[in-house]
């Protein structure tokens, strides 16, 4: 028996969740159903509705939301039994070890990214009808990137995704896909993987683990596998054409050093410095960014804001004056932390102790998304690599009403 708890740190009147106890046994996956007729990728669930519903209730979800509603609104993650993709030689092939990672709402679609756990097949993005919940297609990406994060820029109709540049000067990258490239992509008719519009190397981040778009900024988060470690989220300006603003090393350093020498940055655009400012000269985020930028070469996206976070972060969502951070690693329980957010100040402290609410959820929760008053939570525990692990498993993108988590 394991105790499942929802931990709430009060900052005002907050709801108090009760302790729930539940037992977990090793549940065998359902037998394989018919694949999608679209492209040979299965669209049925690995786990039964009853198994997932039981896991959610055992983790206390019924204390703050309607579990039956969550089950109705959630999306089965396709392709966990078999996914039609490309192999290293560019031939159509079937992968049985796709592992879900990122999630975002893009217009009329829900997009879920996945990588081949065996690293022999190209990574993919599943295109699911937002209203129909049906698999509409599989977007094949070039190579085997982890694709830990997806985000949609509605103003410029671009999908952003995380990546990594291999080699001696390797590091974090983000790439954009135009709607014309991914919306109707069909691997069986295409000449190869979906075309990427732009890829940007970000020397101020070691890894690009997750990302989100808010306003005219792309926020990208780093990753460390130690929960108590410190790392950062950094923001980059999206220009009118949908590209990231770049500058060479000297210009980037000049911008950052100006902030440090001035000592203050407007925390809300348009306010005069004396109205609402924060001293940022010695924040850990600024020191980290300046150090990495100084060691870089060539053009780079220019960081314009940052936040300090602890390790094992897998996703973030910004809504009103709040930031929601998902954390998970291995078979440990996942955590969804709710933090105060004051964007634009270079001093946001989003470390674990700053959370005013922490929800304990089943293991292996990946990226999060907020759209249309709903909170989307993606899990990887239904993948073949983890299917027989002795833990609660979820093969869905769970959908919760945002107000059930943050109120309002």
Instruction: Quote the CA–CA distance of 36 and 134 in Å, as a whole number.
Output: 9
195-234 per-position pLDDT tens digit: 999 999 988 888 899 999 999 999 999 887 776 677 888 8
Strands 303-310 and 348-350: parallel
- Kindly indicate the confidence band of residue 388, based on its pLDDT and cuts at 50, 70 and 90: confident
- Kindly indicate the confidence band of residue 282, based on its pLDDT and cuts at 50, 70 and 90: low
Strands 109-116 and 98-106: antiparallel
**Do 322 and 336 contact (CB within 8 A), yes or no?**
no
Using DSSP, state whether 62 is helix, strand or coil.
helix
Residue with tokens 């009329």: 108
State the pLDDT at residue 260: 60
**H helix intervals, 231-377:** 249-262, 284-294
323-365 per-position pLDDT tens digit: 999 999 999 999 999 999 876 666 678 888 889 999 999 999 9
Could you tell me the domains of the chain? 42-261+278-404 (2.115.10)
State the pLDDT at residue 296: 66
Between the alpha carbon of residue 154 and those of residues 107, 163, 179, 218, the distances in Å are: 8, 21, 10, 12
Structure-block tokens of residue 58: 């055992």
131-152 per-position pLDDT tens digit: 999 999 999 999 999 999 999 9
DSSP symbol at 203: T
| Residue in 164, 130, 126, 128 with CA at minimum distance from that of residue 144 | 164
- Kindly indicate the confidence band of residue 255, based on its pLDDT and cuts at 50, 70 and 90: confident
Produce one character per residue of 7-43: b if its CB has 16 or more CB atoms within 10 Å, e if not. Answer: ebeeeeeeeebeebebebeebebeeeeebbebbbbbb
Q: What is the model's pTM?
A: 0.85
| Residue in 24, 4, 47 with CA at minimum distance from that of residue 390 | 24
Does residue 257 carry a pLDDT above 90?
no
Instruction: Quote the CA–CA distance of 15 and 26 in Å, as a whole number.
Output: 33
> For the chain, what is the mean pLDDT?
83
Structure-block tokens of residue 39: 């492209």
- Kindly indicate the confidence band of residue 26, based on its pLDDT and cuts at 50, 70 and 90: very low
Burial of 281 (0-12, 13-18, 19+ CB in 10 A): middle
Side-chain half-sphere exposure of 230, counting CA atoms within 13 A: 13
Q: What number is the average pLDDT over the span 14-43?
A: 45
Instruction: Quote the CA–CA distance of 324 and 107 in Å, as a whole number.
Output: 22
Structure-block tokens of residue 374: 């709903």
């Amino acid at each position: 028996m394991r105790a499942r708890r929802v931990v709430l740190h009060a900052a005002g009147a907050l709801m108090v969740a009760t302790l729930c106890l539940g037992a977990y046994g090793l549940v065998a996956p359902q037998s394989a159903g018919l694949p999608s007729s679209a492209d040979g990728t299965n669209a049925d669930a690995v786990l039964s509705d009853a198994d997932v519903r039981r896991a959610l209730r055992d983790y206390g979800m019924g204390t703050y939301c309607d579990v039956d509603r969550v089950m109705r609104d959630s999306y089965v993650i396709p392709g966990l039994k078999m996914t039609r993709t490309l192999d290293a030689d560019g031939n159509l092939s079937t992968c049985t070890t796709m592992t879900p990672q990122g999630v975002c709402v893009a217009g009329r679609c829900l997009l879920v990214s996945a990588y081949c756990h065996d690293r022999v097949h190209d990574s993919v993005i599943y295109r699911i009808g937002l209203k129909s919940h049906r698999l509409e297609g599989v977007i094949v990406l070039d190579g085997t990137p982890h694709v830990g994060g997806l985000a949609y820029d509605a103003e410029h109709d671009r999908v952003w995704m995380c990546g990594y540049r291999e080699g001696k000067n390797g590091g974090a990258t983000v790439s954009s896909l135009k709607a014309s490239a991914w919306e109707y992509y069909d691997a069986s008719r295409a000449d190869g993987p979906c075309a990427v519009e732009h890829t940007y190397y970000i020397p101020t981040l070691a890894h690009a683990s997750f990302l989100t778009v808010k306003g005219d900024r792309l926020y990208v988060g780093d990753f460390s596998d130690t929960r108590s470690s410190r790392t950062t989220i950094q923001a980059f300006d999206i220009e009118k054409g949908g590209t990231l603003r770049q500058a060479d090393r000297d210009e980037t350093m000049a911008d950052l050093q100006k902030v440090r020498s001035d000592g203050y940055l407007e925390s809300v655009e348009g306010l005069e410095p004396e109205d609402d400012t924060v001293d940022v000269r010695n924040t850990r985020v600024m020191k980290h960014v300046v150090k990495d930028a100084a060691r870089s070469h060539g053009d780079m996206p220019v960081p314009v804001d940052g936040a300090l976070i602890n390790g094992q972060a897998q996703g973030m969502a910004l809504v009103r004056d709040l930031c929601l951070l998902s954390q998970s690693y291995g078979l440990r329980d996942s955590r969804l932390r709710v933090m105060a957010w004051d964007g634009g100040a270079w001093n946001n402290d989003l470390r674990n102790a700053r959370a005013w609410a922490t929800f304990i959820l089943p293991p292996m929760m990946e990226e999060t998304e907020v759209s249309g008053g709903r909170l989307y939570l993606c899990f990887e525990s239904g993948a073949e690599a983890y299917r027989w692990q002795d833990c609660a498993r979820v093969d869905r993108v769970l959908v919760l009403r945002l107000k059930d988590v943050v109120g309002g």
